[in-house]
């Protein structure tokens, strides 16, 4: 990894917002999922949450590899997803036109926030709406009553970014250093990262120049085959 790439990744990680996220409920069109994840990366969202009923599941996880810099957590149900988010003290907003809905720009996004977007045609489910803390709407004065889900996500997320920038929330690192080290290795040394996974070898630390700071034993393990490593591990366990 070059020093320039190292610094670029470091700069990105320094602005990641760990308490701002998106939850996609049954958003199943690959181009929409990819577009939302791409916007999340641009905004500095570190993790996206998804929920898919069986009929909406993407074939082969299509679009999940579209952004290697954004982590994706899938949940079995919308109840599981919202419970997970609220355990992190997040306010859960849902895009839904209702009597209690407020203009999305009136929300305080400097608070820990999760924004829930529903399926392309039908929107969020009744369960999701009931579980959310607040309905939000994007004001429109034309004939249409809704925007494409990826466009709606971009509008709301950029409002969140605007508020957070004004509050100075992009001026300090939110991600733990352990997570930064993991991403630096995966993003800077993709071939070695694949070898580590194949062989079950822990990731090495990355120094301030973007170089691997591993001892000789780590390099020796990297040269062994997975079969040889398994044999060594079995022998040590037997002892």
Can you spell out the DSSP letters for 117-142? E-BTTTBS-HHHHHHSSEEEE----S
Alpha-helical segments (H) within the chain: 3-14, 30-43, 78-87, 126-131, 149-166, 177-188, 190-199, 216-223, 226-238
Dihedral of CA atoms 10, 11, 15, 21 in degrees, nearest 10, equals -60
Q: Is 138 marked as a binding-site residue?
A: yes
Q: Is residue 110 a known part of a binding site? A: no
**Structure tokens belonging to residue 81:** 């997803």
Closest CA to 95 of 79, 118, 122: 118
In the sheet that holds 102-103, the strands lie side by side as 71-75, 47-51, 20-25, 113-117, 91-95, 134-137, 102-103
Q: Could you give the C-alpha distances from 193 to 60, 187, 212, 213, 217, in angstroms and in order? A: 22, 9, 12, 14, 17
Q: Is the dihedral of CA 206, 211, 214, 219 positive or negative?
A: positive
Quick one: which of 106, 129, 2, 112 has its CA closest to 46? Answer: 112
Detail the residues annotated as belonging to a binding site: 95, 138, 147
Detail the residues annotated as belonging to a binding site for S-adenosyl-L-methionine: 95, 138, 147
């Amino acid at each position: 990894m070059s020093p320039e790439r190292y610094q670029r990744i470091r700069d990105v990680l320094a602005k990641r917002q760990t308490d701002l996220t998106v939850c996609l409920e049954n958003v199943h069109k690959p181009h929409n999922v990819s577009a939302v994840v791409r916007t999340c990366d641009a905004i500095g969202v570190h993790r996206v949450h998804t929920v898919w009923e069986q009929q909406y599941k993407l074939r082969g996880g299509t679009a999940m590899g579209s952004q290697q810099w954004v982590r994706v957590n899938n949940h079995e149900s919308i109840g599981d997803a919202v419970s997970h988010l609220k355990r992190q003290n997040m306010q859960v907003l849902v895009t839904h036109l209702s009597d209690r809905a407020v203009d999305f720009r009136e929300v305080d996004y400097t608070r820990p926030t999760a924004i829930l977007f529903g399926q392309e045609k039908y929107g969020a489910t009744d369960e999701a709406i009931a579980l959310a803390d607040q309905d939000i709407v994007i004001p429109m004065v034309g004939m249409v009553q809704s925007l494409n889900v990826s466009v709606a996500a971009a509008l709301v997320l950029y409002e969140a970014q605007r508020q957070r920038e004004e509050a100075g929330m992009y001026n300090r690192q939110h991600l733990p250093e352990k997570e930064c080290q993991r991403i630096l290795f995966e993003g800077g040394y993709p071939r070695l990262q694949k070898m580590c996974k194949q062989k079950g070898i822990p990731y090495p630390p990355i120094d301030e120049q973007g170089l691997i700071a591993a001892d000789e034993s780590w390099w020796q393990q990297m040269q062994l085959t997975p079969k040889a490593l398994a044999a060594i591990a079995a022998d040590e366990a037997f002892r």
